[in-house]
Chain A
């Protein structure tokens, strides 16, 4: 079979590994492709008409020579990062809902991140093998609103243990203000079901400031509705606060995607994914937009007086 991988045998009687199924060019079909052999169409933010990347972006760029900073250097997809032997900000204390901690709490120098498992994002960190880590996830068919993710891999948003969220059926292949993932957020309190809490499992020192929120510089899991009445961030999305797929914000309620966000509370929450693509992007630091090469493009969506 042409779909068979070359490195078998594979666990669970699979014919290939993660990349075997998830490598390709997206065209709106049923399989999300996260890495492409040829450069995907991203345009400026990956949200424009004609783009063919998904919500997580694409690993194509980080897999290219000299582009370490443009995505997660996932084992099997890319070479190890040339300058980062471990996840920057890793502190080994952030557990998933099932109690598992990435790398068991101690990241070996030079060990690459994986798709899933002990060193990965998807599934439980208590399983070394990626396939075992996401066991059941592909078959239980959960989708749409994941409001009670539990602690099983299959129960979590995108098989991320304990993470809540609304899953866009096309992984944002085509995205607009009314059709998109809805990320789970919190407001200054610890909530291990938010999308940012997933990132913090490996990058805790970026944002861990003790018990009061998890940020040390740019805030995440912070609700812009907390800002002063005349704050510039209340201009997110214009006068009607339209949801901006290029710079998404999270919400308490993830039962449905929001086409507008309220500045009354719980719907305008800054997340890691407001700025970053989880898999990769054409830009430095896997930014959603060309931050380093611009004068604040992207930033001005929230920081509206800084245009």
Chain B
């Protein structure tokens, strides 16, 4: 596939050069920029300058809406915005690397000058509202209306999470295309190529993302770049919109074959295949292995990836109906995570697999709030036999593949006693990307109790 990408890239470059030579005759040709969301002649970039009644002669989509070749748009020559040169001739600085944490301001990131709701400089800002993944592709209502808002939700909430833009900017310095003056957004998006995916949520040809390692190409617009590349192992989650169906955007179950979804796994793993540091969490984020099989062996990857489940799995629709095929599933990162920001910890979506989470995922190790996410696809006691919501006794103690024998509550539960209401152990002690439990891990709980090895000796627990 890599060879193919190089060839395609080469051909595109040759095509671009040929276009440049013949640009006079290019009016009928739609090059990558002309096909991009920013280069759209109707809904593309169109900056309105405060205090200037007309943006000048520049048509919608014109370079001048972002780049100022000499001075400021609107006749305020010759002093450029901010009194000095801005990298890439942008009308404002690309990124304020002194801003280490949210909440972000419009001035922190160049892209926010337009992707910011009511204060946007974009003409008809309502035309470019950017919802979160849960709404645009998952069918939920509400949520943030623009990208800046997505990063800042909720401003003071302990549970809110966001993709730290300083960390992205810092990490991306390793990519050849990325400059110290680049916006962090450009790590994932090529502003001159990103397309209007929100208008065509079931068609990855309109993808808005580019691999950091292949910035000059869109990602998801080739057949090998979609979830169809997992050879049927991807099961589209349920869609929460009124039309029903599956993600993205209510595609019919019969048609949902992975080709409607960019391969977000390969995309995210361009960075997350290695350990990366989070300033927000003040720790390393574990490397994610989404491809290695091997069951419950140490070297195996995550079971939510290509690795398979252990004999039995108790899951909700639509995954249960596919179980007869005796296969595991490969989830897409965006089945659970938002790319920009979320009201839950760990960028967990506010709605997954057809409905909103019933509780907030706090990210605190001591509670089991992560279960609100898990139960969207896995069967908790409520789904299994009408027990308590977000209670996991059955799957841990009573099911065929239960890892721990029941009625030994106090071995793990700090206040165990056979009442059936034992205080839960925080999900995160055992479950998370890359985790394994055996006799030595996860080790000791805050209560001083040691979680013993599971039945069978070891389990990959994600």
Q: Select from chain B the residue with minimum beta-carbon distance to A204.
A: B78
> Are the CB atoms of A218 and B21 closer together than 8 Å?
no
| Least Cβ–Cβ distance between A178 and chain B, in angstroms | 15
> Are the CB atoms of A306 and B33 closer together than 8 Å?
yes
Other-chain contact of B192, A203, A206, A301, A305 (Cβ < 8 Å): A305
What are the interface flags for B45-56 relative to A under an 8 Å C-beta threshold, 1 for contact and 0 otherwise? Answer: 000000000001
Q: Does A9 contact B (CB under 8 A)?
A: no
Given the contacts A44-B24, A88-B78, A295-B41, A304 and B16 also touching, CB distance less than 8 Å = yes
> Are the CB atoms of B24 and A238 closer together than 8 Å?
no
Which range holds the interface residue count of chain B?
35 or more
Q: Does B333 contact A (CB under 8 A)?
A: no
**Chain A interface: which of B61-69, B130-138, B161-169, B239-247?**
B61-69
Q: Provide the bound-state CA to CA distance between A112 and B70, in Å.
A: 21
Interface residues of B in 383-432 (CB under 8 A from A): none
What are the interface flags for A71-102 relative to B under an 8 Å C-beta threshold, 1 for contact and 0 otherwise? Answer: 00000000000011000110000000000000
| Least Cβ–Cβ distance between B84 and chain A, in angstroms | 7
Q: Provide the bound-state CA to CA distance between A82 and B80, in Å.
A: 21
Q: Provide the bound-state CA to CA distance between A237 and B63, in Å.
A: 21
> Are the CB atoms of A216 and B84 closer together than 8 Å?
yes
> Are the CB atoms of B192 and A306 closer together than 8 Å?
yes
Given the contacts A89-B78, A307-B16, A295 and B21 also touching, CB distance less than 8 Å = no
> Are the CB atoms of A238 and B20 closer together than 8 Å?
yes
Q: Select from chain A the residue with minimum beta-carbon distance to B44.
A: A295
Q: Does A16 contact B (CB under 8 A)?
A: no
Q: Does A45 contact B (CB under 8 A)?
A: yes
Q: Provide the bound-state CA to CA distance between A127 and B17, in Å.
A: 47
Secondary structure at the B interface, as helix, strand, loop or mixed, is loop
Q: Select from chain A the residue with minimum beta-carbon distance to B90.
A: A217
Other-chain contact of B21, A44, A237, A302 (Cβ < 8 Å): A237
Q: Does A292 contact B (CB under 8 A)?
A: yes
What are the interface flags for A282-296 relative to B under an 8 Å C-beta threshold, 1 for contact and 0 otherwise? Answer: 001000010111111
> Are the CB atoms of B13 and A301 closer together than 8 Å?
no
> Are the CB atoms of A206 and B23 closer together than 8 Å?
no
> Are the CB atoms of A217 and B69 closer together than 8 Å?
yes
Q: Select from chain B the residue with minimum beta-carbon distance to A89.
A: B78
Q: Select from chain A the residue with minimum beta-carbon distance to B19.
A: A307
Determine which residue in A217, A235, A244, A284 has the highest number of CB atoms from chain B within 10 A of its CB, and name it.
A217
Other-chain contact of A307, B20, B24, B41, B57 (Cβ < 8 Å): B20
| Least Cβ–Cβ distance between B53 and chain A, in angstroms | 14
B contact residues around A206 at 8 Å (CB)? 70-71, 78
Q: Select from chain B the residue with minimum beta-carbon distance to A302.
A: B20
> Are the CB atoms of B70 and A293 closer together than 8 Å?
no
| Least Cβ–Cβ distance between A217 and chain B, in angstroms | 4
Q: Provide the bound-state CA to CA distance between A293 and B60, in Å.
A: 9
Given the contacts A44-B24, A295-B41, A88 and B71 also touching, CB distance less than 8 Å = yes
Given the contacts A88-B77, A89-B77, A217-B85, A297 and B64 also touching, CB distance less than 8 Å = no
Q: Provide the bound-state CA to CA distance between A297 and B192, in Å.
A: 14
Q: Does A176 contact B (CB under 8 A)?
A: no
B contact residues around A191 at 8 Å (CB)? none
Q: Does A209 contact B (CB under 8 A)?
A: yes
Other-chain contact of B16, A216, A235, A291 (Cβ < 8 Å): A235
Q: Select from chain A the residue with minimum beta-carbon distance to B45.
A: A295
Interface residues of B in 201-225 (CB under 8 A from A): 216
A contact residues around B62 at 8 Å (CB)? 291-296
> Are the CB atoms of B21 and A242 closer together than 8 Å?
yes
> Are the CB atoms of B34 and A295 closer together than 8 Å?
yes
A contact residues around B14 at 8 Å (CB)? 239
What are the interface flags for A53-73 relative to B under an 8 Å C-beta threshold, 1 for contact and 0 otherwise? Answer: 000000000000000000000
Q: Does B1 contact A (CB under 8 A)?
A: no
Interface residues of B in 244-258 (CB under 8 A from A): none
| Least Cβ–Cβ distance between B189 and chain A, in angstroms | 14
| Least Cβ–Cβ distance between B260 and chain A, in angstroms | 28
Q: Provide the bound-state CA to CA distance between A122 and B64, in Å.
A: 31
> Are the CB atoms of A307 and B31 closer together than 8 Å?
yes
B contact residues around A307 at 8 Å (CB)? 16, 19-20, 23, 26, 31-34
> Are the CB atoms of A238 and B63 closer together than 8 Å?
no
Q: Does A48 contact B (CB under 8 A)?
A: yes
| Least Cβ–Cβ distance between A45 and chain B, in angstroms | 6
Q: Does A132 contact B (CB under 8 A)?
A: no
Given the contacts A238-B18, A304-B13, A307-B16, A48 and B24 also touching, CB distance less than 8 Å = yes
| Least Cβ–Cβ distance between A62 and chain B, in angstroms | 15
Determine which residue in B18, B44, B56, B78 has the highest number of CB atoms from chain A within 10 A of its CB, and name it.
B78
Q: Select from chain A the residue with minimum beta-carbon distance to B23.
A: A297
Q: Does A300 contact B (CB under 8 A)?
A: yes
Q: Provide the bound-state CA to CA distance between A284 and B85, in Å.
A: 23
Q: Provide the bound-state CA to CA distance between A54 and B155, in Å.
A: 60
> Are the CB atoms of A238 and B21 closer together than 8 Å?
yes
Q: Does A205 contact B (CB under 8 A)?
A: yes
Q: Does B298 contact A (CB under 8 A)?
A: no
Q: Provide the bound-state CA to CA distance between A42 and B113, in Å.
A: 38
Q: Select from chain B the residue with minimum beta-carbon distance to A240.
A: B17
Interface residues of A in 1-46 (CB under 8 A from B): 43-45
Q: Provide the bound-state CA to CA distance between A287 and B355, in Å.
A: 55
Q: Does B59 contact A (CB under 8 A)?
A: yes
Q: Give the top 4 A-B pairs by smallest Cβ distance, nearest first.
A: A307-B31, A89-B78, A292-B57, A88-B77
For this complex, 17 residue pairs linking A to B, each with C-beta atoms less than 8 Å apart, are A48-B24, A89-B70, A206-B78, A217-B71, A217-B86, A228-B176, A289-B23, A291-B62, A293-B59, A295-B41, A295-B63, A297-B26, A300-B20, A301-B20, A304-B17, A305-B13, A306-B63
Given contacts A217-B68, A293-B59, 13 further A-B contacts (CB under 8 A): A48-B24, A206-B78, A218-B69, A237-B17, A293-B57, A295-B61, A296-B39, A301-B23, A306-B192, A307-B20, A307-B32, A307-B33, A307-B34
A contacts, CB < 8 Å to B: 43-45, 48, 83-84, 88-89, 203, 205-206, 209, 215-218, 228, 230, 232, 235-239, 242, 244, 246, 275, 284, 289, 291-302, 304-307
